[in-house]
Amino acid sequence: MTASVTEKFQPVFAPRSVAIIGASKSPGKLGSVMAEAMSDYDAPVFLINPRGGEGMYTSVEEASKAAGHPIDLAILCIPAAFTAASLADCAKGGVKAALLCAGGFAEAQGEGYQYEEEMQQAAKETGIIILGPNTSGYFVPGIGLHASFVPGVAEIPTGAIGVVSASGGVNHSTCFRLQRAGVGISLGVGIGGGVGVNSADVVDYLAEDDNTSVIILHLETIPDGPRLAASVRRAVQKKPVIGMVIGKHDVKEFAERHTGSLATSWHATRSILEQAGAVIAEDEQEMVEMAIALEHQRIAEQRDPGIALLTGQAGTGLIMHDHLLNAEARFTELQPETIAQIESLLPPMTFQHNPVDTGRPAINFWEVMKAVTEDPGVSALGVYSIVESLVHLPTAVEESGALGKLPVVLGTDSITSSTDKVIADARAKGIPMVLGPTAVARGVKALARDGHAQWAIAQPAVAASAELAAKLFDAATAENTDAAAEVQLVLGAHRDPVFGPVVTCGLAGTAEVVSEPVIHLAEVSLADADRVIRTIPGAALLHDAEGNSKVDPAELAEILATLGKHIADNESVEKITLKPVAVTAEGLKFGAAEVTNKLD
């Protein structure tokens, strides 16, 4: 019987016993710091040093015999050159998993390549699961497991946010940000070199973890793109996934010296992660704010969730409104009866539509909130106000009846002592709270995008068309067109070095030159085609004055699916280009596809 993902990684994330290789009594040494960090773990922790000493064992095998059972996890605090031999020693003690903290492997080049090859061979021969190398570790606050040499980790509280990061540093940075916001984590992992355990593995693990309700995913190097996309898609069916991808600019040389290399484009990775259902964050702060918003709530799957905003100050409301308009979020048009109710509660000088501006929070703030949340078109609500004596925001949410009815994100600002109290009260009531109006907007945006993502990934893939394939790839039956149209598309497919067969869509002309095309995995759905039409650089050109699409998503999906199937089924094909494709009133007009083979 195949072990479940939870069982497979139990020796890593819930070890029943631990050995620290290279343990030391000398303050400041990595082995000493790690031993101190693990001292509170509620399971046997054995200190290993070949020279022995008080409280030390000379080998893992010796420790295992003393314990009377095999060791689950070994934490190696030793140089790269000694790692392979140490893994062989670990195997004698029954070790199932190993955390490799040291750098100096392939990322360091030179002798590092040899050390990594020897380490991988040792892992293969022993069957030991490797986490790392070149990582500052991981932690599971709920069980007191702090396999990290970074100070302060023990102060991170238990929560429901799981963090999986390419970088140990980003893992710690993200978790510290969450801690400062009063939020805890279920698991924080720095993948490092990713020789064994990779991001897809941890996403699979967190998807099955009952203690995790939202997953943060920070990416640099991706060893297996299709596997990662599949893991994200499976996870999103159970809980939200927030993705942040590094590499928008030229950081390849630095990345190679860190955890590996950036084999594919930043643009492709973001686009395909979004296709898989992830909510994409632009930076680490947005990543944290989105996670807070999604920690214990999400919108049920919807094609186009409607959002509303309620603000105590007009200027901050404008900031939220502007951010969400820029993010192409849909603002609910409140029902006439909702507006009438709001008008009865607010003075005439206020704005009583969406966003609703109360002018200044009064004691009836909760009643205004109640009116907005009861509008049938509102899927999520963002609320912001500076701390005021007349209104306690968490209490207002409670009194409005919004809790359990629909997702709400609260935001505030004041002096530190005041905001700390409000945030603590909000968390006690299960209400996500952030600082600043932009943070509220980011949280609401995450809710809306996650709701849409759940709907999108549930849509079936569009079948390729044999008839269309004949037109595309048989010059004798191809349509002839001069593509004389105001708007033209460039459609295509190619083999991405990380994600394999992908399809692309860009605008012909200037936009094609200055902007990246939209990229998706070769299997596409109507939802994917719709996303292309909405998110392609220059998307306004594909819509009329009323905002209606000039391109039929079903027609576009069929073309992309046919291109994708052709390149997926033909290993010799490297690239397919279909251009120009004219956008006309009668539909898309195109000629024969240009096919580039690997040997061409």
The pLDDT tens digits for 274-306 are 999 999 999 999 999 999 999 999 999 999 999
The pLDDT tens digits for 68-87 are 999 999 999 999 999 999 99
Domains 136-293 and 466-597 agree in fold = no
pLDDT at 585 over 60: yes
> In whole angstroms, what is the distance from residue 122 CA to residue 453 CA?
41
Question: Average pLDDT, stretch 222-235?
Answer: 96
pLDDT at 252 over 60: no
pTM attached to this predicted model: 0.94
Q: What pLDDT was estimated at residue 96?
A: 98
Question: Average pLDDT, stretch 203-228?
Answer: 96
**CA neighbor of 547 nearest in space, from 533, 560, 527:** 533
Per cent of the chain over pLDDT 90 is: 78
CATH of 466-597, one of 3.30.470.20, 3.40.50.1000, 3.50.50.60, 3.90.1150.10: 3.30.470.20
pLDDT at 476 over 60: no
| Structural domain spans, the chain | 1-134, 136-293, 297-457, 466-597
CA geometry: angle 297, 184, 294, nearest 5 deg? 20
Question: Average pLDDT, stretch 334-342?
Answer: 96
Question: Average pLDDT, stretch 482-489?
Answer: 74
Q: Which of 431-440, 471-480, 571-580 has the lowest mean pLDDT?
A: 471-480
Q: What pLDDT was estimated at residue 444?
A: 98
CATH of 136-293, one of 3.40.50.280, 3.90.700.10, 2.30.40.10, 3.40.50.261: 3.40.50.261
Q: What pLDDT was estimated at residue 515?
A: 62
Question: Average pLDDT, stretch 30-50?
Answer: 94
> In whole angstroms, what is the distance from residue 326 CA to residue 367 CA?
29
- Is the CATH number of domain 297-457 3.40.50.261? yes
The pLDDT tens digits for 143-173 are 999 999 999 999 999 999 999 999 999 999 9
Instruction: Identify whether the C-beta of residue 552 lies closer than 8 Å to the C-beta of residue 585.
Output: no
Containing 345, the helix (H) or strand (E) segment is helix 336-345
Q: What CATH topology corresponds to 1-134?
A: Rossmann fold (3.40.50)
Q: How many residues does the chain have?
A: 600
Q: What pLDDT was estimated at residue 160?
A: 98
Question: Average pLDDT, stretch 109-129?
Answer: 95
338 or 479, greater pLDDT? 338
pLDDT at 570 over 50: yes
- C-alpha to C-alpha distances, 484 to 189, 530, 538, 548, 591, nearest whole angstrom: 54, 24, 19, 22, 12
Residues 6+ apart with CB under 8 A from 476: none
Q: Which of 422-431, 469-478, 585-594 has the lowest mean pLDDT?
A: 469-478
Question: Average pLDDT, stretch 381-401?
Answer: 95
Average pLDDT of every residue of the chain: 91
Q: What pLDDT was estimated at residue 251?
A: 41
The pLDDT tens digits for 509-532 are 654 444 678 999 999 999 999 999
- C-alpha to C-alpha distances, 427 to 159, 296, 391, 516, nearest whole angstrom: 11, 11, 17, 41
